[in-house]
Structure 1
Amino acid sequence: MADENGETRRQRNERFGATSPELHIPDAVTHVWDWFWLLSGRRHSGPEALTFADVGNWARLLQLELLPEEVSMLMAMDDQYLRAVREDQKAARERAQQQ
């Protein structure tokens, strides 16, 4: 996901000479990966957690029948996404304090 300047984490890593992990998304779940980024891009403000209500309302509007496993995947992906965002925010605060 791009930041406010349009730069993704992978692009930022490349700019600073850092490596990014390679991702392999199995074909059977690429739709969940796509759904996550679609939902994630609709957060109200900042890095707030997706709720079951958010996912349920979104699925109803698009007339999607999500499997319980797909909902679990979305929530697990969101947990990891928020963990990474918080780590990035902490690192940015630490860099700012060092200047």
Structure 2
Amino acid sequence: MRAHLEQVERATGKPPPELLDAPPLPDALAHVWGWFAEMSNARGAGAFTLNPISFPDIEAWVRLSGYRPTPFEVQMLRRLDEAFLVEVSKK
């Protein structure tokens, strides 16, 4: 979680307070946060915003990393990305 908060802080210039007060991340989901951070660090950007992590991006990451996320984990990655992009757009 800390890596994600630091990434949000780098993107926005400030840590998101609503995430700082969030409950601790369950250990069973920590790997998804790690995957998200890895993919997010490799995302592209448009002229004025970051691009969302697309299904082709996820597919390429799966092929290159060797990880095999379940459909539920892919859905979680997409939702994390949506939340991240909302925070970045508030900048």
TM-score range, shorter chain: 0.7 to 0.9
The amino acid across from 2:78 in the alignment is M
Residue in 2 that maps onto 1:39: 39
Aligned-partner Cα distance in 1 for 2:90–2:13: 16
Aligned-partner Cα distance in 2 for 1:44–1:70: 22
C-alpha displacement at 1:84, in angstroms?
A: 0.8
TM-score normalized with structure 1 length: 0.69
C-alpha displacement at 1:8, in angstroms?
A: 6.3
Residue in 1 that maps onto 2:3: none
Residue in 2 that maps onto 1:3: 10
Structure 1 unaligned spans of 5+: 14-18, 89-99
Which structure carries more relative contact order (alpha carbon 8 Å, separation 6+)?
2
Distance 1:69 1:53, change over 3 A: same
Deviations 1:23-67 (A, max 9, x none): 411000100001101110111224110001101110111111110
Which protein has the larger Cα radius of gyration, Structure 1 or Structure 2? 1
Structure 2 unaligned spans of 5+: 1-6
Distance 1:34 1:9, change over 3 A: farther
- Equivalenced residue count is 80
Q: Does 1:65 align with 2:34?
A: no
Seq. identity, %: 29
TM-score normalized with structure 2 length: 0.75
Superposition RMSD in Å: 2.4
Q: Does 1:85 align with 2:88?
A: yes
